Amino acid sequence: MRFFRMSGVHVPHRKNTAGNAPVRMPPPASVLIPLSMGIGAPSTPTVQPGDKVLVGQKIAEAGGFVGAAIFSSVSGTVKKTESYRDVFGRTVNALLIDSDGEMTPDPTLAPVAVTTAKALVDAARACGLVGLGGAGFPTAVKLAADPAKVDYVLLNGAECEPYITSDTRTMLDRTEELVAGMKLLRDLYSATVVVGIERNKPEAVKKIRAAIAGDAGLSVKVLPGSYPQGGEKVLIYNCTGRIVGEGKLPLDVGCIVLNVTTTVELMKYLATGMPLVERCLTVDGSAVKEPKNVIVPIGTRMQDVFDFCGGFQSEPGKILYGGPMMGIAVPDAGFPVMKTTNAIVALNERDAILPDPTPCIRCGKCANTCPLHLTPFAIGEAVQKKDAGELAKLKVTLCMECGCCSFICPAHRPLVQQNKLGKAILKAATPPKGGK
Ligand code: SF4
Ligand code: SF4
């Protein structure tokens, strides 16, 4: 079976902010910190309205093994719990915290020494770290692997989505922390550590290569400049030649995959004891007046971030968490920055208009472009018929929702949405594990 054809699609890069080091935003008047910011169970609050909190103080415990603790991103007072409907349609509770503007850190925070893989897992859990590339999978769960089964730790620096440059800035501005992380992961897992970087980031490649020169077991893999090099399975294939089959995990082929910024934030926690309370994100798009990379407290509302970037130069027609290929539209700019928010993109009304879909002309371009060799046009027919058996045969669950097929389709068919629906139909028709 052929997998991961090298073509992908050539999307416009629009890396307008790659040359700009991030700027730190002043604390907002308040933050709205969701108790569910990634994959896993919602977190359980440990504070009450009226409580005073400091930066880095725990405000919610992980809701389970696949969950993450949450820490206050500002110093101030917990005002109340708010509920809102998130972009996936789930009702999410969030803590509203009024900032005192001081950003006083919790004085009990202290560096954390780590000498074993188990201690690293504990540290990742203690600081509430999740995948910062957008997926939000708890880092502790990824790292909780038997080191004897890990051949490679792959650090994802592909950053293939248009507009987004926050990982690029991590690689350029925090190279020392990144290389320290590479060495630690190599030593604790006795693994080869590879940073995968798209070839359109030559400065990052050069800087990291210079920093690891002569260090055994560390390397940089230059990836093709086509989208989606950052897809986990694509990255694993391009860095190791190994294929993660259907229903399998990276660890099944001896790999752990972490985002570069996740790695650096883990190193920051070990060095300072400060858990994950802020993040660097790219603010860009045709509606944004002054695109930049900004470091903001988690829970800052998008509107505050846009205001810090000079506001809008024209009325936004669409605002996205993330980039235009895999990003998710939000109904308004009142939504908060989450742990997983690597970019917020606001498109003007003209750029936000999607052409009306027309009937499939069976040109096959979607299938030819899919990095996983799926056949979106056939999946579409199975979705129409609600044919779960056919959807299983067509391996719809493999779809990583990268958007290549939608991007290339001359009939402008909403193929990603269709595939999501296909997955839901298949899931509904599949008996739960252990059931009859
Ligand atoms: S690319 Fe679009 S028009 Fe062509 S086969 Fe696929 S769904 Fe049909
Ligand atoms: S969205 Fe799914 S079907 Fe479409 S190209 Fe990506 S992996 Fe293939």
The ligand 2 site (C-beta within 6 Å) comprises 369-370, 372, 374, 376, 399-405, 415-416, 419
CA 394 to chain centre: 27
**165 domain residue, yes or no:** yes
The verdict on 256 and 381 lying in the same domain is no
**Which of 358, 365, 370, 416 has most ligand 1 atoms within 8 Å of CB, for mutation?**
365
pLDDT at residue 58 above 80? yes
Q: Which of the four pLDDT bands, split at 50, 70 and 90, describes residue 7?
A: low
**Which of 372, 383, 396 has most ligand 2 atoms within 8 Å of CB, for mutation?**
372
Provide the whole-model pTM.
0.93
Beta bridge partners of residue 221, listed in sequence order: 196
Can you give the CATH number for the domain in which 237 is found?
A: 3.40.50.11540
**96 domain residue, yes or no:** no
Q: Determine if the peptide bond prior to 228 is cis (ω within 30°).
A: yes
Say how many Å lie between the CA of residue 406 and the centre of ligand 1. Answer: 9
The ligand 1 site (C-beta within 6 Å) comprises 360-366, 376-377, 409-411, 413
C-alpha distances out from residue 323 to 83, 335, 402, 417, Å: 26, 16, 11, 16
Q: Whose CA is nearest to atom 5 of ligand 2?
A: 370
Looking at 238, 272, 306, the residue that finishes a domain is: 272
pLDDT of residue 434: 54
Q: Which of the four pLDDT bands, split at 50, 70 and 90, describes residue 436?
A: very low
pLDDT of residue 90: 87
Looking at 227, 254, 272, the residue that finishes a domain is: 272
Say how many Å lie between the CA of residue 361 and the centre of ligand 1. Answer: 6
Say how many Å lie between the CA of residue 410 and the centre of ligand 1. Answer: 7
pLDDT of residue 13: 86
Ligand 2: nearest atom to the Cα of 416: 1
Q: Whose CA is nearest to atom 2 of ligand 1?
A: 409
CA distance 288 to 154: 34
Q: Which of the four pLDDT bands, split at 50, 70 and 90, describes residue 291?
A: very high
pLDDT at residue 340 above 80? yes
Looking at 250, 272, 294, the residue that finishes a domain is: 272
The verdict on 134 and 244 lying in the same domain is yes
The verdict on 381 and 268 lying in the same domain is no
Report the pLDDT averaged over residues 152-161. Answer: 96
pLDDT at residue 72 above 80? yes
Q: Are strands 343-348 and 316-321 parallel, antiparallel or unpaired?
A: antiparallel
Q: Whose CA is nearest to atom 6 of ligand 1?
A: 366
At 308-339, the pLDDT tens digits run 999 999 999 999 999 999 999 999 999 999 99
**39 domain residue, yes or no:** no
At 91-109, the pLDDT tens digits run 999 999 999 999 999 999 9
| Nearby residues of 255 by Cβ (< 8 Å), 6 or more positions away | 150, 151, 152, 153, 154, 236, 240, 242, 244
The verdict on 256 and 127 lying in the same domain is yes
**294 domain residue, yes or no:** no
At residue 291's C-alpha, the angle toward residues 290 and 297, to 5°, is 105
The parent domain of residue 261 ranges over: 117-272
Q: Which of the four pLDDT bands, split at 50, 70 and 90, describes residue 29?
A: very high
**192 domain residue, yes or no:** yes
Report the pLDDT averaged over residues 124-136. Answer: 91
The verdict on 128 and 263 lying in the same domain is yes
Q: Which of the four pLDDT bands, split at 50, 70 and 90, describes residue 39?
A: confident
Q: Which of the four pLDDT bands, split at 50, 70 and 90, describes residue 433?
A: low
Q: Looking at the 3D structure of the chain, how many domains does it have? A: 2
